[in-house]
Amino acid sequence: MQDLKGFPYFEVEFSKRGEVHDQNQVKELIDFLAQSGTSDLFVISHGWNNDMCDARNLYTRFFGCMRHVINSGIMAGIDARKFAIMAVLWPSKKFAEKDLIPSGAAGAESPITNDLLRQELEEMKGVFDDPQADAVLDKAKLLVPKLEDSPKARKEFTDLLRSILPKETSVDIDASSDFFKLPGDEVINRLSKPVPIVESKPISSGRAAAGGSGSSVSMGGAAGLIQFFSGIKSGVLNLLNYLTYYEMKERSGIVGSTGVNQVLRKILAQNPDIKTHLIGHSFGGRLVTAAAAGSEGQLPVKVSTMTLLQAAFSHYGFSEHYDGVNDGFFRRVIINKTVTGPIVISCTRNDKAVGKMYPLASLIAGQIAAALGDKNDKYGGIGRNGAQKTPEASEGILLNLNSQDSYQFQPGKLYNLNSDAVIKDHSDICHNEIAYAIFNAVAKT
């Protein structure tokens, strides 16, 4: 057993297919839980831009904040509970921040060049599960100089790259069906259009309700527009971002719904009284939600709380009849009361990775409006906007530790906590304010 900031710490590593890398890791954890009197287990998953070293560093910083809140004494009674950590490690390709943001590799001083596109293709090697993927990427590099002038080359380029993607199993409202059906040159043409992104007004950090019954905090109106770059080369770069998004979406869903779900079943079968608290960042948010939901036709795993930190899936994931007919793909988590306690969701306009990735889906679907990616767009991320069209969700803000307000969390409810004042980018989740919100949810179980 390892110790992380005073918490018993156990790593469980999963393969791309959701298989446990070493069953001894699971056995060690289950044996400890059976003998230690642990009352609460945190199950945490990193996101899509972490290699194993980065994931461990993230967990160390994150649970440093958790320890701080316990030691501060601000949460009465929380120090009487015995916590342990299950740290999920899954193969998520590491990317620089520029690779998470459409057109982020380019700027006014840095045009999108053929060399840049070839470099991006080279750096994508090792990302995809298809055994022919690296060879396909090499073929795609040869087409780069022809893309601006040749629709035929654009079609061949897109078809090559789509051929290495897995069949969709982790459904999302992200225009995936359009992406696979459209002619290849049309995909790039659509992704070449400039996209205006509305930036909301910063939310007040003053006193406000924090998830109480019927509470509502305005997300503000438009305060300015950000534009993606336009042109064929920008469209190609956007395509590469979408390919990576799609691969990691599929992988996180498989790892969660199979591997992590099965491990949770084993833990709870042998330790039925333990309270489990799922925490996921980025695509780790999708992973832990898929773990709770399980595969279609499979009974869900009952967990105590869930915290989604800048989660990378649709803001309609938990929705009821988001289009008047269909429910969100994780709606069964709500219907089946899979999470018995509160579900806490951090969301911020500062998350450029989630906030700008989903508008690519709007482009692919041929939708260009004045405000793509915000809470009124069909294609928006939960880490940007919170859970939308979800009757069980209410709006609030992420509170400071010394706030005069308090969380009014209730079991089975979702809380969209606007985090503009605290979280400054997609990976900026290690804050005492986050830990405080989590422990407030834990205290309700």
Residue 213 burial (10 A CB sphere; 0-12, 13-18, 19+): exposed
More confident: 190 or 372: 190
pLDDT for residue 395 is more than 60? yes
pLDDT at site 210:
44
Q: CB count, 10 Å around CB of 164?
A: 21
Instruction: Examine the pLDDT at 299 and tell me if it is beyond 60.
Output: yes
Q: Which residues pair with 242 in a beta bridge?
A: none
Q: Is the pLDDT of residue 218 over 80?
A: no
Q: How far apart are CA 256 and CA 280, in angstroms?
A: 11
Higher pLDDT, 93 or 277: 277
Task: State what percent of residues in the chain have pLDDT above 70.
Answer: 87
Which of 39-43, 90-94, 309-313, 320-324 is the least confident region? Answer: 90-94
Residue 387: pLDDT above 60? yes
User: What's the pLDDT band for 433 if we cut at 50, 70, 90?
Assistant: very high
| 269 three-state secondary structure | helix
The least confident of 167-176, 200-209, 254-263, 343-352 is 200-209
Pick the more confident residue, 445 or 296.
Answer: 445
Q: Mind listing the pLDDT tens digit for each residue in 223-258?
A: 223 344 568 999 999 999 899 899 999 999 999 999
pLDDT band at residue 52 under the 50/70/90 scheme = confident
If one compares 127 and 218, the residue with the highest pLDDT of the two is 127
Among residues 59, 45, 54, which one has the least CA distance to residue 7?
Answer: 59
Task: Find out if CATH 3.40.50 is the number for domain 2-94+259-442.
Answer: yes
Query: What is the arithmetic mean of pLDDT over 141-158?
Result: 97
Q: Percentage of residues in the chain with pLDDT exceeding 90?
A: 72
55 or 212, greater pLDDT: 55
Cβ-Cβ contacts under 8 Å for 340 (sequence gap 6 or more): 302, 303, 304, 411, 412, 445
What pLDDT is stored for residue 103 in this prediction?
33
**Residue 341, pLDDT above cutoff 80:** yes
Tell me the per-residue pLDDT of 90-132, one tens digit each, with 9 for 90 and over: 988 643 334 333 333 333 344 789 999 999 999 899 889 999 9
Half-sphere exposure in the Cβ direction for 202 (13 Å, CA): 9
Q: Which of 21-30, 110-119, 207-216, 378-387 is the least confident region?
A: 207-216
Range with lowest mean pLDDT among 55-64, 98-107, 120-129, 160-169: 98-107
Q: What is the mean pLDDT of the segment spanning 369-386?
A: 84
Q: Tell me what pLDDT residue 70 has.
A: 97
Q: Where are the domains of the chain?
A: 2-94+259-442, 97-193+227-244
- Per-residue pLDDT, averaged over 346-369, amounts to 85
Give the three-state DSSP class for 299. coil
Alpha helix ranges (H) inside 131-231: 133-143, 151-162, 176-181, 184-191
